[in-house]
Chains A and B, each alone.
Chain A
């Protein structure tokens, strides 16, 4: 079966660091994506991992361990505008994305 788990909600303080975890069990694997989605808006691409290890892109980094079925998104120097939902998605062999339910992050001043 397909299962992607991530925490429902997280809170953090402006300027801090937060790590959002994602574990997955899917029938196929061809990469893991992280998307950001502000309320009422479309998801926007943040990062992509297909090999084990850390991918860094500015304030955002994403890590993948395929053997453990585990990824995390790391957000540094949090800003108020980072308050959003963060979606973990696995690409299966046919290119479709299987999404988790999303983690709603609230950043407080």
Chain B
């Protein structure tokens, strides 16, 4: 498995519930990014990790969204008290490091909040 993997591929949850989305980056990639994509739109930046620390979390829409990357590899995006407007495809990407490196995207997690 050389690519970025994300689990689950699909998640259906009820409004108000808590969800966790997981991302496994490409081995050796120190930079990890979360985006979300609504139908017919381009990906929207959420948060960027360099190693274990969040280098830029300016895209997180509110404090219901939180992400961690405790060991500098796998990352988890956590959404509390989900709302119907959170429904989207959540994409994870990784890159070799800072600078002008290509970002490799995972297949995404499709989140549906009912």
Partners in one complex: yes
B1 at the interface (CB under 8 A from A): no
A25 at the interface (CB under 8 A from B): no
Q: Are B44 and A42 in contact, with the CB atoms below 8 A?
A: no
Q: Are B98 and A101 in contact, with the CB atoms below 8 A?
A: no
**Contact A101/B41 with A42-B106, A94-B55 known, Cβ cut-off 8 Å:** yes
CB B7 to nearest CB in A, in angstroms, measures 14
Residues of B contacting A100 in the complex (Cβ-Cβ under 8 angstroms): 42
Stretch at the interface among A44-52, A54-62, A64-72: A44-52
A81 at the interface (CB under 8 A from B): no
* Number of CB contacts from chain A to chain B under 8 A: 63
Q: Are B43 and A48 in contact, with the CB atoms below 8 A?
A: no
Q: Are A102 and B42 in contact, with the CB atoms below 8 A?
A: yes
A105 at the interface (CB under 8 A from B): no
Residues of B contacting A95 in the complex (Cβ-Cβ under 8 angstroms): 31, 48, 50, 55-56, 95, 98-99
For the complex with contacts A33-B102, A35-B105, A96-B59, 13 further pairs of A-B residues with Cβ separation under 8 Å are: A45-B103, A89-B42, A94-B56, A95-B55, A95-B95, A96-B58, A97-B33, A97-B43, A99-B43, A99-B45, A100-B42, A101-B40, A102-B42
Contact sample, A vs B, 23 pairs, CB 8 Å cutoff = A30-B100, A33-B102, A42-B105, A42-B107, A43-B43, A43-B91, A43-B105, A48-B100, A87-B42, A95-B48, A95-B55, A95-B56, A96-B33, A96-B45, A96-B56, A97-B43, A99-B35, A99-B45, A100-B42, A101-B40, A101-B42, A102-B40, A102-B41
Spell out B's residues near A (CB within 8 Å): 4, 31, 33, 35, 40-45, 48, 50, 55-56, 58-59, 91, 95, 98-100, 102-108
